[in-house]
Amino acid sequence: MRDAFHEELDAINNKMVELSHRVNKAIEQATHALLTADLALAEQVIAEDNQIDEIQHALDAQTIDLMARQQPVASDLRALVVSLRMSADLERMGDLAHHIAKSARMRFPATAVPPELLLTIQEMGAAAAKICKKTSTVISSRDTVLALELEKDDDELDHLHRKLFIALLDPAWPHGIETAIDMTLIGRYYERFGDHAVSISRRVYFMVTGEYAKKS
């Protein structure tokens, strides 16, 4: 019976990894749609967010069902409770990619990002995708050392977020209030995406060690 339980626990973890891969695809495609005014790709990201939601709902239902049937304790219970929270983080990351894609759609046929900010947004998208890929590895491997690295990786995204704000607050900003609001929201979406990835890494650390990682 315990072997069957752990098989189901592994299946939940595998679905979590699958969900993280879908989120990574979403943020990469949303960034590309944003930078290139690719309406078809933006619509694809928006539509596929429903699939991310459905996977998350099924994952949570499976987790709760396993908890109810097996009444796990100690580290097994901790793993299942943490899984519920990680799936919520991943679902929210998918939502943030969805918001970025909607920004691209809203400004079509124009490009939502002013020319002088294209590189910064490209770097933010690349940093977010890098963090998400590492998050997938952390979920899969439960590597606590790698989990702690994610917070440092997120520092790069925070730095780019501050760089974006410096440009938006420049008195010589030439693009008006509407564009400034767009870019403020887009920057926030990427920044929050990274925060959720860090949250997942901390949950993995807790799941493995039973202790909370110290904030750097």
Give per-residue pLDDT as tens, 74-118. Answer: 888 999 999 999 999 999 999 999 999 999 999 999 999 999 999
Give the residue among 41, 182, 40, 46 at the shortest CA–CA distance from 114. Answer: 182
Give the residue among 9, 8, 21, 11 at the shortest CA–CA distance from 135. Answer: 21
Q: What is the pTM of this model?
A: 0.95
Give the residue among 207, 170, 181 at the shortest CA–CA distance from 81. Answer: 207
Question: Could you tell me if 52 and 184 are in contact, meaning their C-beta atoms sit under 8 angstroms apart?
Answer: no
Give per-residue pLDDT as tens, 140-151. Answer: 999 999 999 999
Give per-residue pLDDT as tens, 107-135. Answer: 999 999 999 999 999 999 999 999 999 99
Check whether 1 has a pLDDT greater than 90. Answer: no
Residue 2 — pLDDT band, cuts 50, 70, 90? low
At residue 75, the pLDDT reads 87
Give the residue among 197, 191, 186, 88 at the shortest CA–CA distance from 132. Answer: 197
In this structure, whether the domain defined by 2-209 belongs to CATH 1.10.540.10 is answered with no
The residue ranges of every structural domain in the chain are 2-209
